[in-house]
Chains A and B, each alone.
Chain A
Amino acid sequence: MATTHTYDALVIGAGGAGMRAAIELSDQVRTAVISKLYPTRSHTGAAQGGVCAALGNTEEDSPEWHAFDTVKGGDYLVDQPAAQLMTEEAIDAIYQLERWGLPFNRTPEGRIDQRRFGGHTANHGERPVRRACYAADRTGHMILQTLYQQCVKRDVRFFNEFYCLDLLRAVDGAVAGVVAYELATGELHVFRAKSVVFATGGYGRMFSVTSNAHALTGDGPALVWRRGVPLEDMEMFQFHPTGLAKLGVLLSEAARGEGGVVLNADGERFMERYAPTIKDLAPRDMVSRAIYQEIKEGRGGGPNGDWAFLDIRHLDPKVIEEKLPDITEFARVYLKVEPTKEPVPIQPTAHYAMGGIPTNTDGRVVDGADETPIPGLYAAGECACVSVHGANRLGTNSLLDLVVFGRRAGVDAGRHAKDSALPDVPERPTEQTLSSLNAILERTQGDRAADIRTELQASMFDLAFVVRSEESLSKMEEIIGGLQERFARVAITDKGALYNTDLMETVELGYLLDCAHALVVSARARTESRGGHYRDDHPLRDDASWLKHTLAYRNDDGSIRLDFKPVKMGPYVPMERKY
């Protein structure tokens, strides 16, 4: 028998969004956080460059300029009221973090220092603006630590190394709780609650070159998808231009914000040709595509001609030491390259999911084109799609997203928990979870999860990365079909109950396959190029047909049904995206 716990509210995931929500919730109602990692292991901690807010500490700025940049950066697939809200609330969100002790770098006047970042401009694209608040190049680390500190202060209840494996819904569709697997013992637990906030992060591990942690396997999106919730704009994935060559480890855009440039193998600063006004500070989708173009035209470097280079040699050593210490060390440790003396080999790396679980600006998960809220279900952070990032997220807006919408989701989930009764969980709530785990454990022979994973990652990199086409995506869809068949026969060697990471990695592979399936089918349908989604058979944006969000539903037979919903417009009329 599974142990049953009852809370008012649950948070699934203990990264930035999850802990920000938990801080709000635990002030209001009985709350538990269920996390497969210890909170400070979460990938928010890997974010480097900064978190934007129009504080205007070093030069004139305004939330309205920030909203414009966010909408234009997202190639007009952004829901504009959400972007306006986020950029307005950004200012208080940053001050709140500072009051909780976040050690931001400072101006000579003692205020929070700000620096330039890709796509963030003054007066609607005139020039780069200093908007990113930062703590050296470990801003995400400091946000994660600060939020964890506040959780410790409030004595928030964490269930660490518990994997959420199922969402429980009552007969009327309302959220009733979750099923979780305790890694230490192999036991299943039923958590009953009135509100559940998913904050499980992204799914970059479906690609072989990624900045994402091994843990980022799309658990939240896949779980709710299997329980009837659609996934929005899954085709919109960000490929960050400056991953360490071969490894994908991120080198922050802050390197370019501080004056670094990207070079091709001829040593040319090629972004001058692609974005004449803001050059190397163009949004990430444009820089990644430019690198691919340079490689295609034979100006890539390295043994296979598929690298570009990040050059920070001309920066003041004091700037490197004080503002970019971590990324400098990454280049030294992992490529044995000395960034102060030689350009660092880079290539685009799978970085961020703009799409995910559809929510409104209160973090409530919404279903369908009419956005019907699902009672008690919330999502925030990378696993959610508000949508404030549209087709391409601007650098720093992810950290902002998780503090603004993590807070809002926490506030509303607390309100909902106070206003409603505890729903009944379905009969035999762990039955389905147990039978799928046992099927894997009992199979003595079958396919190896590592083989399936490796093929998924390599083919997604090959066929659904920076450049896509009908041909590549249809091939990828076929490959996923084959991998899913093999996954149904997957077998593992660890049959034990204690710390069975073999079993959990296999479950995570199932989530990755689902997310990749939704991504590829959505990408195949979208016959245009917008933001991070570039089709070389449809190279232009097509507002007449495609100024709308994709919703992917999972049918009972495992196939996918697509629906669409309009983009919420506002003051900004779509125009050609030039920088």
Chain B
Amino acid sequence: MGTPAEALQESDRRRAGGAAPGAVELTLRIRRFNPEVSQDSWWDEFTVMADPLERLVEVLHQVKWYHDGTLSFRRSCAHGICGSDAMLINGRNALACKVLVDDVGSKVTIEPIRGLAVLKDLIVDMEPFLDGYKAVLPFLINDSGEPDRERLQTAEERARFDDTTKCILCAACTTSCPIFWGDEGYIGPAAIVNAHRFIFDSRDEAGRERLKILSEKTGVFRCRTTFNCTEACPRGIQVTKAIQEVKRSILFDRF
């Protein structure tokens, strides 16, 4: 029976690429870009040994730490809540910390998310994405005076917008949307999700203002209901449904 420390050292050996029982061979094909090196992107391949339950983001660390220190990507929490490491993994948007080696087989292709300018390797320019978010007035607006205690809200009213409060702004939805790729004007699913979160909050008073913003030509009616966004969301938010609810509110002036 090993001590906790021995078990962990074993795990560290696996991370370091040493042959460990149960480790499998994984080949990563990664789209690289570094304007200090070339104006064109290129592909690199790395083959490593990894535990089947290892997270892909930790396999990327293994590559960065032991094979090529120039490989650049964003990450922080490594368990799907900070939203840093959205990537195109085998052609689908996902968080690299929520995909396990076991989920991808022996080969995996990793590319930056689409529709935002690539700055280096898997790092993209998040500013246009955040501009879309900021455009929908993503904060509670209520000018009816503040109660001494909390504002009251029933559990049912709270449930009405529960789903869209889960958003972590990882951009997986927005950068999976073909309309967003093709048309820089479209505000994108994540911004609409965050507008939905306030439009359907019983405490908020600026729903009409947000609906007006989203009814403009860059708004919800660009959506062609391809459901890519819903499939891409690592938080399981029903993104397309939220967009449809916003569309209906605009059409029927009802929310």
| Residues in A lying within 8 Å of B, measured CB to CB | 37-38, 40-43, 45-46, 94-95, 98-101, 103-112, 135-136, 138, 141-142, 145, 149-150, 152-153, 184, 208-209, 213-215, 246-247, 249, 295, 303-306, 326, 330, 333-336, 347, 448-450, 454, 457-458, 461-462, 492-494, 496-502
Using Cβ atoms and an 8 Å threshold, which residues of chain B touch A101? 139-140, 198, 201, 203-204
Pick from A37, A105, A107, A214 the residue with the most CB of B within 10 Å: A214
Whether B82 contacts A46 by the Cβ 8 Å rule is yes
Whether A333 contacts B80 by the Cβ 8 Å rule is yes
18 A-B contacts, Cβ less than 8 Å apart? A38-B130, A42-B76, A99-B147, A101-B140, A103-B158, A141-B81, A142-B165, A208-B11, A247-B79, A306-B4, A330-B79, A333-B80, A333-B98, A462-B3, A494-B69, A494-B70, A499-B123, A502-B69
Q: Tell me how far the C-beta of B124 lies from the nearest C-beta in chain A, rounded to whole angstroms.
A: 11
Q: Of A109, A145, A213, which contacts B76 at CB under 8 A?
A: A213
Q: Tell me how far the C-beta of A257 lies from the nearest C-beta in chain B, rounded to whole angstroms.
A: 18
Residue of A nearest to B121 (CB): A499
Q: Of A40, A109, A142, A304, which contacts B83 at CB under 8 A?
A: A40
| Residues in B lying within 8 Å of A, measured CB to CB | 1-9, 11-12, 15-16, 34-37, 53, 55, 64-66, 68-70, 72-84, 98, 100, 119-121, 123, 126, 130, 134, 138-140, 142, 146-155, 158, 161-162, 165-169, 198, 201, 203-204
Whether B83 contacts A501 by the Cβ 8 Å rule is no
Using Cβ atoms and an 8 Å threshold, which residues of chain A touch B82? 37, 40-43, 45-46, 213
Q: Tell me how far the C-beta of B160 lies from the nearest C-beta in chain A, rounded to whole angstroms.
A: 10
Whether A498 contacts B120 by the Cβ 8 Å rule is yes
Residue of B nearest to A295 (CB): B4
Additional 8 contacts, C-beta under 8 A, given A45-B168, A107-B155, A336-B53: A41-B76, A43-B82, A46-B81, A101-B140, A153-B139, A247-B79, A303-B7, A454-B16
Using Cβ atoms and an 8 Å threshold, which residues of chain A touch B68? 493
Whether A496 contacts B70 by the Cβ 8 Å rule is yes
Whether A461 contacts B36 by the Cβ 8 Å rule is no
8 nearest A-B residue pairs (beta carbon): A101-B140, A450-B65, A493-B69, A110-B152, A462-B5, A149-B139, A502-B69, A153-B139
Using Cβ atoms and an 8 Å threshold, which residues of chain A touch B204? 101
Whether B1 contacts A461 by the Cβ 8 Å rule is no
Whether A499 contacts B119 by the Cβ 8 Å rule is yes
Whether A305 contacts B1 by the Cβ 8 Å rule is yes
Whether B36 contacts A497 by the Cβ 8 Å rule is yes
Query: A246 CA to B54 CA in the complex, in Å?
Result: 10
Contact A138:B166 (CB < 8 A) given known A101-B139, A334-B55 = yes
Whether B138 contacts A152 by the Cβ 8 Å rule is yes
Using Cβ atoms and an 8 Å threshold, which residues of chain A touch B130? 38
Contact A215:B76 (CB < 8 A) given known A40-B169, A246-B11, A499-B120 = yes
Query: A500 CA to B69 CA in the complex, in Å?
Result: 9
Query: A496 CA to B69 CA in the complex, in Å?
Result: 11
Q: Of A45, A112, A461, which contacts B4 at CB under 8 A?
A: A461
Query: A496 CA to B140 CA in the complex, in Å?
Result: 42
Whether B76 contacts A105 by the Cβ 8 Å rule is no
Whether A458 contacts B140 by the Cβ 8 Å rule is no
Q: Of A208, A214, A305, which contacts B75 at CB under 8 A?
A: A214
Using Cβ atoms and an 8 Å threshold, which residues of chain A touch B34? 496, 498
Query: A493 CA to B72 CA in the complex, in Å?
Result: 12
Whether B72 contacts A43 by the Cβ 8 Å rule is no
Q: Of B100, B119, B162, which contacts A103 at CB under 8 A?
A: B162
Residue of A nearest to B78 (CB): A214
Whether B139 contacts A152 by the Cβ 8 Å rule is yes
Q: Tell me how far the C-beta of B148 lies from the nearest C-beta in chain A, rounded to whole angstroms.
A: 8
Whether B168 contacts A40 by the Cβ 8 Å rule is yes
Using Cβ atoms and an 8 Å threshold, which residues of chain B touch A214? 75-78
Q: Tell me how far the C-beta of A565 lies from the nearest C-beta in chain B, rounded to whole angstroms.
A: 34
Q: Tell me how far the C-beta of B113 lies from the nearest C-beta in chain A, rounded to whole angstroms.
A: 15
Whether A493 contacts B70 by the Cβ 8 Å rule is yes
Using Cβ atoms and an 8 Å threshold, which residues of chain B touch A500? 72
Using Cβ atoms and an 8 Å threshold, which residues of chain B touch A303? 7
Q: Of B55, B134, B149, B162, which contacts A152 at CB under 8 A?
A: B134
Using Cβ atoms and an 8 Å threshold, which residues of chain B touch A493? 68-70
Residue of A nearest to B146 (CB): A99
Whether A450 contacts B139 by the Cβ 8 Å rule is no
Q: Of B7, B11, B77, which contacts A213 at CB under 8 A?
A: B77
Contact A43:B76 (CB < 8 A) given known A304-B2, A458-B5, A461-B5 = yes
Whether B64 contacts A502 by the Cβ 8 Å rule is yes
Using Cβ atoms and an 8 Å threshold, which residues of chain A touch B121? 499
Whether A448 contacts B11 by the Cβ 8 Å rule is no
Pick from B79, B100, B148, B152 the residue with the most CB of A within 10 Å: B79
Whether B84 contacts A498 by the Cβ 8 Å rule is no
Q: Tell me how far the C-beta of B251 lies from the nearest C-beta in chain A, rounded to whole angstroms.
A: 26
Pick from B6, B37, B73, B140 the residue with the most CB of A within 10 Å: B140
Contact A454:B12 (CB < 8 A) given known A106-B154, A153-B139, A502-B64 = yes
